[in-house]
């Protein structure tokens, strides 16, 4: 059962006890992500996530690491388009220490000017490293292309220019806007005493300012038929074809999960069998759905030799067209649902996965659902539900493509013709 407490400053705490666990996973979720950033702030949410680990008024960076090592715990953080999350997994007897350290990072960071300058170099190297991975470039690029001109489009990391323009004051100003009680959720899953945690969380996080930041402007996928290329010194073409999907607030996303699994979610999927097993044209090919709060998309990916880029693009489109025209089989449907059901059940055994699921849902959707309810929603998906999304999702007129690799070795015009129809 999921329980919820709202602290006096608006922070929402959501709890899920997991019997027979000795561990507890604690996560602090903040509405601080790239969708909230102005142009001059691109990459700031991610940069702040980095810099908060560089030391607080009472702990150096090395002391933070040592204290977590002393209790055998794990501490980390990540930034996404819609949020930043700081999380720890510890034995239940050490939960107070984990809460104390995370609150110290968020509320009492030094934001030292020297650390900020050094971290600019670290994040710039991360940007360059990401740019050196054509597969990452393609997968990020298809999102930016689909949502061109919208808040979802910019890269989470920002650019070298935007990052190097950050100042200590600009970071403080941004945190003042985004790190507010009404925009923060603390999620705990595993073994814990709720009454003690309620008191502990107020003691450690009561100093966070109340209120909420500005809401983002909703994003929508643009027109189909657009194609973009990223010229990289790579001997493979990394092809991403993107198409409309569903947001996390739309229960049709469960039908999308089933469809994605059939198309490219496993070794028996259509793309894997057709492109890799039958034709030997790719080592890696897959599909995956992405759901933000109010919008989403489906991506089909394949990595292939440059000379085969147009052919593989054609094969992907052919499989998508076949599914749209003829639907999926009962065998494919049953297999996909069972794989997804098992995946949900296995994740429900992990305190980290449950803390993540309930925290993110509470932050972005305003509600945290038990795993059993999510499994019921998945089990309720019918063949008709999947067929009901085929026309809209797999409409070739709504598709865009982003291809990364050495463009001189590809037939780029053929790829453009295939996507533009």
**Could you list the active site residues?**
49
374, burial (CB in 10 Å: exposed 0-12, middle 13-18, buried 19+):
middle
Order of strands across the sheet with 12-17?
2-6, 12-17, 184-190, 23-30, 84-91, 74-79
Task: Please state, in angstroms and rounded to a whole number, the distance separating the CA atoms of residues 415 and 128.
Answer: 27
Neighbours of 147 (CB within 10 A): 22
* Dihedral, 367, 369, 373, 377 alpha carbons, nearest 10: 60
Report how far Cα 186 is from the mean position of its chain's Cα atoms: 18
408, burial (CB in 10 Å: exposed 0-12, middle 13-18, buried 19+):
exposed
Secondary element (H or E) of residue 261: helix 253-264
Helix (H, G, I), strand (E, B) or coil at 369: coil
């Amino acid at each position: 059962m999921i329980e919820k407490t709202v602290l006096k400053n608006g922070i929402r705490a959501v709890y899920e006890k997991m019997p027979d666990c000795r561990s507890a996973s604690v996560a602090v979720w903040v509405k601080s992500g790239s969708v909230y950033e102005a142009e001059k702030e691109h990459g700031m949410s991610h940069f702040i996530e980095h810099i908060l680990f560089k030391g607080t008024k009472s702990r150096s960076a090395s002391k933070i690491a040592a204290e977590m090592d002393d209790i055998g715990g794990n501490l980390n953080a990540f930034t996404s388009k819609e949020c930043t999350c700081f999380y720890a997994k510890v034995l239940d007897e050490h939960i107070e220490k984990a809460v104390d350290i995370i609150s110290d990072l968020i509320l009492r960071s030094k934001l030292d000017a020297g650390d900020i300058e050094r971290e600019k170099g670290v994040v710039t190297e991360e940007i360059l490293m990401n740019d050196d991975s054509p597969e990452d470039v393609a997968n990020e690029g298809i999102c930016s292309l689909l949502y061109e001109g919208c808040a979802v489009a910019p890269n989470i990391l920002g650019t070298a220019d935007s990052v190097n323009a950050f100042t200590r004051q600009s970071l403080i100003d941004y945190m003042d806007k985004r790190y507010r009680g009404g925009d923060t959720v603390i999620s705990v899953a595993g073994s814990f005493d709720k009454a003690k945690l309620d008191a502990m969380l107020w003691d450690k996080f009561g100093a966070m300012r109340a209120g909420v930041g500005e809401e983002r402007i909703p994003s929508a996928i643009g027109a189909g038929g657009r194609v973009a290329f990223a010229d990289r010194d790579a001997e493979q073409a990394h092809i991403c074809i993107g198409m409309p999907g569903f947001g996390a607030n739309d229960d049709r996303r469960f039908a999308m999960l089933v469809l994605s699994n059939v198309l490219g979610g496993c070794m028996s999927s259509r793309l894997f069998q057709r492109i890799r097993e039958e034709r030997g044209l790719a080592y890696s090919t897959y599909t995956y759905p992405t759901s933000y709060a109010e919008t989403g998309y489906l991506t089909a990916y394949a990595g292939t030799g440059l000379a085969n880029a147009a052919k593989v693009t054609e094969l992907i489109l052919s499989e998508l067209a076949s599914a749209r025209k003829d639907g999926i089989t009962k065998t494919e449907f049953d297999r996909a649902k069972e794989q997804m059901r098992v995946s949900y059940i296995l994740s429900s055994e992990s305190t980290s996965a449950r803390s993540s699921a309930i925290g993110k849902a509470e932050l972005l959707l305003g509600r945290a659902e038990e795993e059993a309810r999510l499994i019921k929603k998945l089990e309720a998906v019918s063949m008709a539900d999947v067929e009901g999304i085929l026309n809209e999702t797999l409409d070739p007129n709504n598709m865009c493509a982003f291809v990364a690799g050495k463009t001189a070795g590809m037939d780029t015009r053929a790829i453009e013709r295939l996507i533009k129809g």
